């Protein structure tokens, strides 16, 4: 019960594998794609794409806009701004955490 | 006949030229590798996008998409992609030549044209021929890689001109990368978007379910498509430039080698001639005594 999902960005092909289900943030609401989905074309908003295989989430992506085409058991996601959630790092938050750590470590508690 | 000192100077100057050209060849080869990778990686996205857009247009029931009509019927915008620097063989020359051919055919059809240059070289040589027709010049964009926002800013400029009825058509002239020794200058139509006959043949294919609807999706993805086509053209162009420079510099190095060989031979012969002459002078002088 699997179909092919391909995620392409202008820089590279990010994902290309057979999967069972993907849930994508469509412009009019989230939608899931299973095998034998009807031909479908929509645009994406900002959100998270979940990819399932063997009834487990194997990968999640942060998507900021894009296009999805489904036809003939092949799903293609085109996006200029897409990144694996695990690889995504918000530099600002990290910096803030570091600053807080420093502040806390320098504090004299027993003075 | 040049003196021996002149010859020595000449040989050493050719040698230093050879050093420069062979260094440039190495640099170009390294850059080519990266540029080629980038160009090839961008191809699947650009091709898929193109497919989707054309299949959408060919299926679309309405003929009046907002990207296909304009009140201006005369002016054509040419986006000419060339290099910022020279010393890359016939690369810039063939782009300029192609552009001139395009403008000649446009002239015959009685159309006006304007230019948007990407890269300095084409601008430098065409601005003399076509005065005041340049809209903009984008340069120094490839350091070291080409950012996507350059393509989108060019796209914004083009669309603005299109909606203000300044232009009716837009073509992109760039060099498509095949290999380090063969590149082709191509022109690609960006605007207006029309159903052409070739696309018409695809009819009878599956009907898509659109969300929200065809027109909204088209309005959303056509600008994206234009930007990505420009972006991939720029990447192809950069790879072609480096490839062209590499072969040109390879040739130059080989020519310098040939020249050094010839000059050294000539130098040795003249040196030998000089020695023989002096010997003859001494011997005949001794005989006379």
B166's tokens: 């300044």
User: Pick from A9, A31, A67: which is nearest to B52 by CB?
Assistant: A67
Task: Please count the structural domains in chain A.
Answer: 1
What number is the ipTM of this complex? 0.75
Q: Is residue A111 part of a domain?
A: no
| A111 has pLDDT over 50 | no
Instruction: Please tell me whether residue B129 adopts helix, strand or coil conformation.
Output: helix
Q: Does A36 touch chain B (CB under 8 A)?
A: no
Q: How far apart are CA B56 and CA B218, in angstroms?
A: 7
> Do A41 and B211 count as a contact with CB atoms less than 8 A apart?
yes
B81 catalytic, yes or no? no
The pLDDT, as a whole number, for residue B206 is: 64
> Count of CB contacts below 8 A, A vs B?
66
pLDDT tens for A26-76 read: 988 999 999 999 988 899 999 999 999 998 999 999 998 899 999 889 999
- Cβ contacts of B245 within 8 Å, gap of 6 or more: B24, B25, B28, B87, B88, B89, B91
Q: Burial code of B44-77, b = ≥16 C-beta within 10 A, e = fewer?
A: bbbebbeebbbbbbbbbeeeebebbebeeeebbb
Entry pTM = 0.81
**Residue of chain B whose Cα is closest to the Cα of A43:** B217
Closest CA to B116 of B23, B17, B14, B230: B230
Q: Does A73 touch chain B (CB under 8 A)?
A: no
Alpha helices in chain B (DSSP H): 4-59, 91-108, 120-129, 148-163, 197-200, 214-288
pLDDT tens for B33-88 read: 998 888 888 888 988 888 888 877 777 665 556 777 666 677 889 999 999 888 88
Any idea what DSSP says for residue B28? Answer: H
Mutate to test the interface with A, among B211, B221, B231 (most CBs of A within 10 A): B211
Based on the number of CB atoms within 10 Å of its own CB, is A11 exposed (0-12), middle (13-18) or buried (19 or more)? middle
Mutate to test the interface with A, among B48, B150, B236 (most CBs of A within 10 A): B48
Low-confidence ranges of chain B (pLDDT < 50): 197
Assigned fold of B4-24+248-281: Helix Hairpins (1.10.287)
Q: List the domain boundaries for chain B.
A: 4-24+248-281, 31-245
> Do B212 and A28 count as a contact with CB atoms less than 8 A apart?
yes
Report the percentage of chain B scoring pLDDT > 90.
36
Based on the number of CB atoms within 10 Å of its own CB, is A5 exposed (0-12), middle (13-18) or buried (19 or more)? buried
Phi, psi (degrees; rounded to nearest 5) at B178: -110, -55
> Containing H/E element for A98?
helix A91-105
The pLDDT, as a whole number, for residue B16 is: 96
Q: Does A9 touch chain B (CB under 8 A)?
A: yes
Q: Does A104 touch chain B (CB under 8 A)?
A: no
Q: A73, A35 in Cβ contact below 8 A?
A: yes
Q: A42, B210 in Cβ contact below 8 A?
A: yes
Length of chain A as a residue count: 111
> Containing H/E element for B187?
strand B183-191
Instruction: Give residue A68's domain range.
Output: 3-105
pLDDT tens for A63-106 read: 988 999 998 899 999 998 888 888 877 766 777 777 877 777 77
Q: B152, B227 in Cβ contact below 8 A?
A: yes
Q: How far apart are CA A79 and CA A7, in angstroms?
A: 8
Q: From chain B, which residues contact A within 8 Å (Cβ)? A: 38, 41-42, 44-46, 48-49, 52, 56, 148, 206-212, 216-217, 220-221, 224, 228, 231-232
**Residue of chain A whose Cα is closest to the Cα of B231:** A10
Length of chain B as a residue count: 289
**Is the domain B31-245 a CATH 3.40.1380.10 member?**
yes
Q: How far apart are CA B101 and CA B94, in angstroms?
A: 11
* CATH assignment of the domain containing A26: 2.60.15.10
User: Pick from A28, A31, A71: which is nearest to B206 by CB?
Assistant: A71
Q: A49, A25 in Cβ contact below 8 A?
A: yes
User: Pick from B45, B208, B210: which is nearest to A9 by CB?
Assistant: B45
Q: How far apart are CA A87 and CA A107, in angstroms?
A: 33
**Residue of chain B whose Cα is closest to the Cα of A72:** B206
The pLDDT, as a whole number, for residue A110 is: 56
């Amino acid at each position: 019960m699997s179909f092919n999902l391909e995620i392409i960005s202008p820089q590279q092909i990010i994902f290309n594998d057979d999967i069972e289900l993907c849930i994508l943030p469509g412009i009019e609401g989230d939608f899931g794609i299973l095998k034998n989905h009807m031909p479908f074309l929509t645009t994406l908003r900002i959100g998270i794409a979940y990819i399932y295989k063997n009834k487990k989430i194997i990968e999640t992506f942060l998507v900021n806009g894009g296009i999805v085409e489904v036809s003939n058991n092949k799903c293609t996601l085109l996006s200029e701004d897409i990144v694996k959630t695990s690889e995504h790092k918000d530099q600002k938050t990290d910096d803030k955490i570091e600053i807080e750590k420093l502040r806390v470590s320098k504090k004299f508690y027993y003075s | 006949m040049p003196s021996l000192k002149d010859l020595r100077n000449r040989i050493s100057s050719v040698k230093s030229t050879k050093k420069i050209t062979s260094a440039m060849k190495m640099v170009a080869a390294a850059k080519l590798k990266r540029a080629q990778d980038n160009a090839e990686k961008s191809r699947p996205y650009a091709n898929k996008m193109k497919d989707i857009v054309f299949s959408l247009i060919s299926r679309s029931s309405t003929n009046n998409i907002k990207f296909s009509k304009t009140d201006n019927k005369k002016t054509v915008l040419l986006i000419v992609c060339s290099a910022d620097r020279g010393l890359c063989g016939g690369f810039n020359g063939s782009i300029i030549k192609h552009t001139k051919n395009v403008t000649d055919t446009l002239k015959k059809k009685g159309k006006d044209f304007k230019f948007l240059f990407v890269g300095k070289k084409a601008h430098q040589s065409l601005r003399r021929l076509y005065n005041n027709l340049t809209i903009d010049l984008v340069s120094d964009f490839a350091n070291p890689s080409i950012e996507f926002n350059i393509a989108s800013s060019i796209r914004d400029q083009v669309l603005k001109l299109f909606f203000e009825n300044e232009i009716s058509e837009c073509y992109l002239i760039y060099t498509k990368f095949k290999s380090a020794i063969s590149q082709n200058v191509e022109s690609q139509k960006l605007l207006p978007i029309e159903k052409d006959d070739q696309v018409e043949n695809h009819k009878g294919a599956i009907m898509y379910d659109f969300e929200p609807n065809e027109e909204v999706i088209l309005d959303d993805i056509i600008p994206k498509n234009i930007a990505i086509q420009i972006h991939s053209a720029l990447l192809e162009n950069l790879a072609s430039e480096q490839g062209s420079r590499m072969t040109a510099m390879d040739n130059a190095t080989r020519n310098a080698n040939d020249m050094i060989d010839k000059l050294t031979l000539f130098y040795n012969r003249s040196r030998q001639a000089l020695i023989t002459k002096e010997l003859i002078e001494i011997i005949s002088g001794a005989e006379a005594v």
